[in-house]
Chain A
């Protein structure tokens, strides 16, 4: 959940006080290019501190990668080209948001599948519940053999 991620992000900010991640010397002078670089860095995993993106991490490798991303962007590459280059170098592991492919299909479709299966399950159960109750009502309306016998007995008594 976005909220949780963010609360934790705030917490970690307060609690761990990370040292400076993106250094001022790394920033690009072009704000549009810099914004793209920041957005890209947030999607890439740091290979050293594996629970951080290269944007958050202050490991030397993360710094090298940030500079690499900026160099590539400055050379005129698209976001996708930069990502392709890093994936070619480090593998899919570098992406914090895995690409959709046959081996991540279950991951991406899993939440949707759970939602749909849950919804179908609830509908089926609700329908069955109603059918059961209808049957129960019908059964209640029908007389048992003992009741039929008792009823005919009463009727016979009346006739006499």
Chain B
């Protein structure tokens, strides 16, 4: 899976099953897109003209930012190699570098994103679109204020990030709300109009809305995650957010090819029983390796992770507990984006062959 020339920023595939799966994904996407390009490249031709402020212009801007982000990954990955080859100097480029460079690239892109679908093709009206997005910006502003008050001050990053996510989501809904007249006409009329809208419009809305959902998940995970590390003896408890985890004890079990030491935790929320979590340490005697089985509990769109460290001589066990709020939204957002993509691919324009204008003209001409 990996050559070892580059040290991966992330540890992906330590076992061949996952490695083959990731390889298959890479093959499908990279190979697929290159094949498509090779097949259809001759059909590429210069499109019509458009003003810089237009939907085409917005697509170009979008591509510009995404290509820059792609180039950042490329530079960040290969720069240390090149520097070492040229000067012998060794530097590291890790997650902090990518966080520092990606955020400034994505914030302007996300601010610009809701403008795209609202701009007309060929020549758009920026001021008009900005006026139509006032509602979305207002929702975002309210969210910033509410979150700021809830957090009791603190860093401004969190309220603004949440505001940005809500602005993206509300901005995505703006077009649908306007075109169906949802807030002005009776619900049934709006529903009928919504059914009449082209699927591509729904696709764009779903895809952009999904990105907003994912963004919320990212913010929750990075900014609101909690972590507790403790050494516990049976009978002791550890609490995180509103959850109390009571350590009931450990049990040794025999698996098909491993022995495991599983710890039993009872999870309560405000004193009410919620479930049990059983993190374990497994040892595989035949290979002399040990693995840690993290216990995972899903609560709504948030998750609790619990993993074990090594037991101490005094009978206590090191445990690490994480609370990851909104983390599942990252995946739900992706699912919504996929639905958006599927909807726009099933648009009438792509399902039903458009009548060829040349033929209809030829059919009409004898009647003159």
Contact = CB atoms under 8 A, between A and B. Distances in A.
Interface string B74-102: 01100100010001011111111111111
Nearest to B101: A111
Contacts, number: 164
Nearest to B229: A24
Contacts of B101: 108, 111
A17 B324 contact: no
Nearest to B161: A2
Interface of B: 7-12, 14, 18, 49, 52, 60, 64-65, 67-69, 71-72, 75-76, 79, 83, 87, 89-103, 105-106, 214-215, 218, 221-222, 229-231, 291-294, 296, 305, 307-310, 318, 320, 322, 324, 327, 330
B93 A107 contact: yes
Contacts of B49: 129-130, 133
Interface in A104-156: 104, 106-108, 110-111, 114-115, 118-119, 122-123, 126, 129-130, 133
Contact of B79 (A42, A93, A107, A122): A107
A118 B75 contact: no
Name the prevailing secondary structure of the A interface residues: helix
Interface string A24-59: 110100000000000000110100011111000000
Contacts of B327: 10
21 contacts: A2-B98, A2-B222, A5-B98, A6-B330, A7-B330, A10-B327, A12-B11, A16-B14, A17-B291, A17-B293, A23-B229, A23-B309, A23-B318, A24-B231, A45-B94, A51-B10, A51-B11, A92-B90, A115-B64, A115-B65, A115-B68
Contacts of B11: 12, 16, 49, 51-52
Interface of A: 1-3, 5-25, 27, 42-43, 45, 49-53, 91-98, 103-104, 106-108, 110-111, 114-115, 118-119, 122-123, 126, 129-130, 133
Contacts of A118: 64, 67-68
A22 B229 contact: yes
A3 B102 CA distance: 9
A122 B293 contact: no
A24 B230 CA distance: 6
A20 B229 contact: yes
Contact of B92 (A27, A42, A94, A106): A94
Nearest to A9: B10
B9 A51 contact: yes
Nearest to B72: A111
A21 to B, nearest CB: 8
Given A92-B90, A115-B68, A126-B52, A5 B95 contact: yes
A63 B75 CA distance: 31
Contacts of A115: 64-65, 68, 105
B92 A98 contact: yes
Contacts of B221: 6, 10
A11 to B, nearest CB: 8
Nearest to B66: A1
B48 to A, nearest CB: 10
Given A1-B106, A24-B230, A93-B91, A10 B324 contact: yes
B305 A51 contact: no
A123 B91 CA distance: 36
A49 B50 CA distance: 52
Given A6-B222, A16-B11, A95 B91 contact: yes
A53 B9 CA distance: 10
Pick the most buried of B18, B89, B92, B309: most chain A CB atoms within 10 A of its CB.
B92
Given A13-B305, A111-B75, A24 B92 contact: no
Contacts of A95: 91-92
A2 B92 contact: no
B320 A98 contact: no
A15 B52 CA distance: 46
A19 B75 CA distance: 32
B223 to A, nearest CB: 11
B190 to A, nearest CB: 33
Contacts of B71: 110-111, 114
